[in-house]
Amino acid sequence: MARMDSAAGGKRLVGEPVTVIRVDEEGKLSLDSEALQSVLLQKDVQNLPVVVLLVAGAIRTGKSSILNVLLRFPYLQCRDWLGEPNKPLEGFPWKSGKDAHTEGIVFWSHLFRATTADKKEVAVLLADTQDSFGTNSSTAESVHICALSVLISSIQVFNVMRNLQLDHLQHLQMYYEYGKHAQELEGGTSDFGRCVFLVRDWEWPEDCEFGWEGGERLLQKILGTESKKQSDQMSCATCAPTSNRASLLENAS
């Protein structure tokens, strides 16, 4: 695996982005099986259960940049693991501007060994995804990418900017319904991983404070508002993960 020339806090960042799901000019998806095997069949992790931490969300909301923040943690497992605030983020490619940058689904080639709360050793894989409903993507392409993201993720971070809104939950519900249908066609169960809503640059801490508790209140407020509008209450938890959580971050972009 490639070793990046830069270093995170004096420790070299190991790995590179590898595109495993590609999108052709017609918007059709294809699996790069060779790329997938190069990531999952590494000798030091090939016999371990894999935990896929995947970031999804709308166009130009900083999905790749938040993954690059997460990439720092395995190398800086200390109180100041975020590193220097003015140091450029490195890892998954990203750029400023209005146009989307990531296409398909991209894995980080180096998996990180970790131990779960119940003392099981796992390999953690970070994954980036194409923007939901990007300007250059058809609706079908976006839905296929997002539904596939739901199916492969152990933890899906649904990344939004400044505020979590009802349409975000409605889109997510559609992705889970699509994924559920795909599993049923294959004769599988509709069990999914966990989903975390990450609200970047939250602007109203006086209403809901930063962190898990404030995010949970915001989520329940949105779901409660919808239940008043519809007799058949829309609930993301119907076919979504066992743990729906929301977190509010201050100036995270």
Q: Give the right CATH number for 1-135 from 3.40.50.300, 3.40.50.2020, 3.40.47.10, 3.40.366.10.
A: 3.40.50.300
- The pLDDT of residue 180 is 81
Nearest to residue 141, comparing CAs of 130, 152, 150? 130
Q: Mean pLDDT, to the nearest integer, of 9-32? A: 82
* Torsion from C-alpha of 150, 153, 155, 159, nearest 10 degrees: -50
- The candidate with the shortest Cα–Cα distance to 237, out of 150, 158, 173, is 173
Domain ranges of the chain: 1-135, 148-253
Q: Who wins on pLDDT, 184 or 51?
A: 51
CATH of domain 148-253: 3.40.50.300
* Pairwise CA distance, residues 197 & 239, whole Å: 16
Give the pLDDT confidence score for residue 127 in this predicted structure.
94
End-to-end CA distance of the chain: 29
The CA-based dihedral angle spanning residues 215, 216, 221, 227, taken in that order and rounded to the nearest 10 degrees: 130
Among 47-56, 112-121, 225-234, the minimum mean pLDDT is found in 225-234
Q: Can you name the residues that pair with 127 across neighbouring β-strands?
A: 54, 107
Which amino acid is it at 116?
A: T
Helix or strand (DSSP H, E) at 123: strand 121-129
- pLDDT level of residue 76 (50, 70, 90 thresholds): very low
66 in Cβ contact with 199 (< 8 Å): no
217-233 in b/e form (b: 16+ CB < 10 A) is: ebbeebbeebeeeeeee
List the structure tokens of 155: 């933890």
What's the whole-number mean pLDDT along residues 66-81?
Answer: 69
Please, how many CA atoms are within 13 Å of residue 74, restricted to the half-sphere of its CB?
18
**Higher pLDDT residue, 57 or 93?**
57
Q: List, for residues 51-70, the tens digit of each pLDDT value.
A: 999 998 877 677 888 888 88
Spatial distance between the Cα atoms of 248 and 91, rounded to a whole number of angstroms: 24
Report the number of secondary-structure helices (H) and strands (E) in the chain.
Answer: 5, 11
Look up residue 150 and give its two tokens.
């739901």
Three-state secondary structure of 184-252:
HHCCCCCCCCEEEEEEECCCCCCCCCCEHHHHHHHHHHHHHHHHHHCCCCCCCCCCCCCCEEEEECCCC
Q: What's the rounded Cα separation, in Å, for the pair 106 and 122?
A: 20
Greatest pairwise CA separation for the chain in angstroms: 57
What does the pLDDT look like over 185-225, one tens digit per residue? Answer: 776 666 678 888 899 888 899 999 999 899 999 988 888 76
Please state, in angstroms and rounded to a whole number, the distance separating the CA atoms of residues 164 and 41: 38
Reported as a pLDDT band with limits 50, 70 and 90, residue 39 is very high
Q: What is the pLDDT of residue 38?
A: 94
Q: Is the pLDDT of residue 240 over 50?
A: no
What is the average pLDDT value for the chain, to the nearest integer?
77
pLDDT of residue 121: 94
